[in-house]
């Protein structure tokens, strides 16, 4: 009885520890993406800088996609990826209004994902 209780406690602690590590990793990546989105939002009329920042956003997301897919729902990641594709297309044709709108939408989606995935009592039950 005592042995199985200790095993259960260890398993629960490992799950909480793994969740905390993955959550920090995802939050860090989303923080980097949000910072780039803020740069785009501040200078959304600068064509060259927008393309460079959007390309960097795609690199950040692609480099961590596999790890984040283990932790997040795939459709949530696809929403962010779709927004980045829309932003890139708008930047190529210099549609500054769409870039600004999609930047705001992408920030909202990322905030929603962070809130949804955070380790809170409300989200556990």
pLDDT at 123 over 70: no
| Over residues 61-79, mean pLDDT | 86
For residue 56, the tally of other CB atoms under 10 A from its CB is 15
Could you tell me which of 39, 58, 44 has the C-alpha nearest to residue 91? 44
- Domains of the chain, each with CATH number or no CATH: 22-124 (1.20.120)
Q: What is the pLDDT of residues 4-28, one digit of tens each?
A: 999 999 999 999 898 888 888 988 9
Q: What is the pLDDT of residues 97-110, one digit of tens each?
A: 888 888 889 999 99
Q: What is the pLDDT of residue 95?
A: 82
pLDDT at 124 over 60: no
What does 12-74 look like in DSSP terms, one character per residue? Answer: HHHHHHHHHHHHHHHHHHHHHHHHHHHHHHHTTT-HHHHHHHHHHHHHHHHHHHHHHHHHS-H
Better pLDDT: 118 or 102 = 102
């Amino acid at each position: 009885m005592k042995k199985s209780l200790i095993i259960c406690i260890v398993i629960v602690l490992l799950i909480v520890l793994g969740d905390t590590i993955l959550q920090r990793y995802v939050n860090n990546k989303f923080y980097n993406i949000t910072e780039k989105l803020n740069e785009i939002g501040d200078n959304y009329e600068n064509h060259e800088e927008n393309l460079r920042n959007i390309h960097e956003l795609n690199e950040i997301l692609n480099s961590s996609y596999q790890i984040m897919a283990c932790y997040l729902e795939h459709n949530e990641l696809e929403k962010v990826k779709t927004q980045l594709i829309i932003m890139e297309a708008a930047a190529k044709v210099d549609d500054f209004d769409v870039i600004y709108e999609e930047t705001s939408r992408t920030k909202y989606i990322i905030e929603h994902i962070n809130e949804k995935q955070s380790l809170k009592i409300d989200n556990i039950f």
